[in-house]
Amino acid sequence: MEINSKTIDNEDPNIINENVKIATEKQVKSINEEDNIKKDSTNQICNSNSSSEGEINLPVVDKDKVRILTYNIFMRPPPIHSFESDFKEDRIKLICKELFQNFDIIAFQECFSFGSFRIDKIKEKAKKNGLVYFSNSKKKHTWNIGIDGGLCLLSRYPVINKKLYYFKNGCHSDAYSEKGVLFNEIEIPNGNHLFIFTSHTQASYEHFPSITSESVRVRLSQFTEIRKFITSMTENAKPTDIILLCGDLNVNGRLNKDDGTTHSEEYKAVLSILKGNLSIIKKEKEKDKEKDKEKEKEKGKGKEKEKEKEINKEVNKDSEKEEKEKENMNENINEKDKIKENENENENENRNENKNEKDNKNNDKDKDKDKEKVKEKENKYVEIISETAEYEVEDLFYNELNEHPVTSCDLFADDYYKDGKGKKSRKCLDYFFTFKKLNAQKSETTSPEVKVTESESNNNNNNNNNNTSNVSSKVVIKDLTINKFDVTDKKFVHLSDHYGLSLNIVT
């Protein structure tokens, strides 16, 4: 049995034994505590060749290169499965065996702790391979009905700050999962900090959902929450620090199965939200507001017509009374008429005043009701934030490949399915976004350079493009790779129903 995953950078790393950080015994013990945030920056990391039970077996670490992986491992809770429990136990063993030695920071999605001890296995195996810093998305309250969000972050380097944010809304079956965003601030070599955010947003259960569908609307609202959370957690980030958002974001960037170069409408909306420009969402809301205004105008016109009719009726009644009185009066017609006309005018004025007061009260009640209806509608929409675009946002893989790569796959071979065909949905659901503070360009300190030099194509072939984003010469993001994690000699042909995305930060 083999697992094949092409890696771009096969050159031998410079082995550093003195300056490479590792966890001390005190750090290892702290992993079993709930909060394993770094408390002593003087702790050192060193190589250990021991592989006995309970000891850390660290691979050789190149301090000048930080290897990062994001991967949806398709480990749904025990009651949920498609075929023979999705071979979860077999796959979790292979994941623990093959991944932990090859990466320094790993972001997992669909790594649920609900109803099983798989998360404990991952934590234990990761620790033995030097990934001693662990955090996951726990349930907000243990008594809540539902499951956790399935997020997990593992790091070989010290975590100095971490936080979990819970989304406000979810729909369909996702409403029973406490989804959100998991954040770690990690101290990487040379004193730089990595602000990494991972999420698994609202899922859609159609292949290419409409942007007006409920799942998409909920997902867009979650992205506004992600954007605000990133802003709040990176206020103190330096220009040399790196800010990454990664994960299975459930946004299909491809227009359709065959067209990956053209952005989907939802992807455009998401990119606009992440940049802080929420005009797309605002327009949707403004359209409905205009419709409500038109309805209000129509209601107002109808009320005015009713008022006119009532006034005319009263005027007609008054005129009939006047005619009868005139017929019965023979003397002093002119004087009496004048007196009566004055009296009638006064009465009409008083009546009109009373009616106007009643109408005003009724109008105020109607306005209050309309305001309540508007508030109820607003609650259904995305929260509008008056936030300026403080970041330059870049989709690393799209900018490198000039298309949205396919990141979804079938867990099994075609002959395993009844119709002899897998889903072959050809979606791009997984991403690495970088956020660079715009005010950093004016700073004297140089910002990280995003240099995407080599990446693996959908056919697992190397694509040697040397596109460069000029940001800095000190920190470089490179070696973007699509990891298919093929498996042989098993019923399943991939480790998951997603491909993993990886990159290297070179300091």
Token pair of 8 as six digits: 């771009």
pLDDT value for 497: 92
Q: Residue 183 — very low, low, confident or very high, per pLDDT cuts 50/70/90?
A: very high
DSSP annotation string for 397-451 = HHHHHSS----B--SB-GGGSTTS---------EEEEEEEEGGGGGSSSPPPEEE
What's the mean pLDDT in 162-175?
A: 91
Of 271-280, 377-386, 415-424, 470-479, least confident by mean pLDDT is 377-386
What's the mean pLDDT in 310-332?
A: 66
Give the residue with greater pLDDT, 332 vs 236. Answer: 236
Q: Residue 435 — very low, low, confident or very high, per pLDDT cuts 50/70/90?
A: very high
pLDDT value for 320: 67
* pLDDT surpassing 70 at residue 443: no
What's the mean pLDDT in 85-114?
A: 90
Q: What is the DSSP letter of 85?
A: G
**Which CATH number describes the domain made up of 66-282+384-440+474-506?**
3.60.10.10
Measure the CA–CA gap between 282 and 279, rounded to whole angstroms: 5
pLDDT value for 64: 86
* pLDDT surpassing 50 at residue 189: yes
* pLDDT surpassing 60 at residue 154: yes
Residue 505 Cα distances to 101, 368, 472, 491, angstroms = 17, 57, 13, 35
Decide if 503 contacts 480 (C-beta within 8 A).
Answer: yes
Give the residue with greater pLDDT, 164 vs 119. Answer: 164
| pTM (predicted TM-score) | 0.68
Of 91-100, 241-250, 397-406, least confident by mean pLDDT is 91-100
Ramachandran angles phi, psi of 96, nearest 5°: -65, -35
pLDDT value for 138: 81
How many percent of the chain have pLDDT more than 70?
Answer: 55
* pLDDT surpassing 50 at residue 54: no
What's the mean pLDDT in 91-107?
A: 94
Of 73-82, 125-134, 162-171, 339-348, least confident by mean pLDDT is 339-348
Report helix, strand or coil for 390. Answer: coil
428-439 burial, b at 16+ Cβ within 10 Å, e below that, comes to bbbbbbbbbbee
* pLDDT surpassing 80 at residue 142: no
Decide if 201 contacts 223 (C-beta within 8 A).
Answer: yes
Residue with tokens 């998305």: 137
395-422 burial, b at 16+ Cβ within 10 Å, e below that, comes to bbbbebbebbbbbbbbbbeeeeeeeeeb
Give the residue with greater pLDDT, 50 vs 56. Answer: 56
Measure the CA–CA gap between 176 and 164, rounded to whole angstroms: 17
pLDDT value for 166: 94
How many percent of the chain have pLDDT more than 90?
Answer: 38
Q: Residue 291 — very low, low, confident or very high, per pLDDT cuts 50/70/90?
A: low
Token pair of 440 as six digits: 């950093």
What's the mean pLDDT in 310-331?
A: 66
Q: If you average pLDDT over every residue of the chain, what do you get?
A: 74
Closest CA to 390 of 432, 441, 431: 441
Report helix, strand or coil for 22. Answer: coil
Q: For the chain, which residues make up each domain, given as ranges?
A: 66-282+384-440+474-506
Give the residue with greater pLDDT, 42 vs 280. Answer: 280
Measure the CA–CA gap between 447 and 472, rounded to whole angstroms: 5
Measure the CA–CA gap between 160 and 141, rounded to whole angstroms: 25
* pLDDT surpassing 50 at residue 44: no
Encode pLDDT of 231-241 as tens digits.
Answer: 999 999 988 89
Q: Residue 428 — very low, low, confident or very high, per pLDDT cuts 50/70/90?
A: very high
What's the mean pLDDT in 123-136?
A: 94
Measure the CA–CA gap between 51 and 297, rounded to whole angstroms: 77
* pLDDT surpassing 70 at residue 50: no
Measure the CA–CA gap between 182 and 113, rounded to whole angstroms: 15
DSSP annotation string for 219-262 = HHHHHHHHHHHHHHHTTT--TTSEEEEEEE-----BSSSS--SS
Report CA torsion sign: 243, 249, 253, 258. Answer: positive
* pLDDT surpassing 80 at residue 318: no
Q: What is the DSSP letter of 190?
A: G
* pLDDT surpassing 60 at residue 288: no
What pairs with residue 469 in β-bridges? 450
Of 74-83, 421-430, 457-466, least confident by mean pLDDT is 457-466
Encode pLDDT of 245-271 as tens digits.
Answer: 999 999 999 999 999 999 999 999 999
Token pair of 348 as six digits: 């009409």
Q: What is the dihedral of CA 140, 143, 145, 149, to 10 degrees?
A: 30
Decide if 269 contacts 285 (C-beta within 8 A).
Answer: no
Of 58-62, 364-368, 446-450, least confident by mean pLDDT is 446-450
Token pair of 458 as six digits: 């959908």
Of 2-11, 414-423, 490-499, least confident by mean pLDDT is 2-11
Give the residue with greater pLDDT, 411 vs 24. Answer: 411
Pairing state of beta strands 152-155 and 159-166?
A: unpaired
Q: Residue 356 — very low, low, confident or very high, per pLDDT cuts 50/70/90?
A: low
* pLDDT surpassing 80 at residue 391: yes
Decide if 148 contacts 114 (C-beta within 8 A).
Answer: yes
Of 44-48, 52-56, 94-98, least confident by mean pLDDT is 44-48
Of 122-126, 217-221, 271-275, 462-466, least confident by mean pLDDT is 462-466
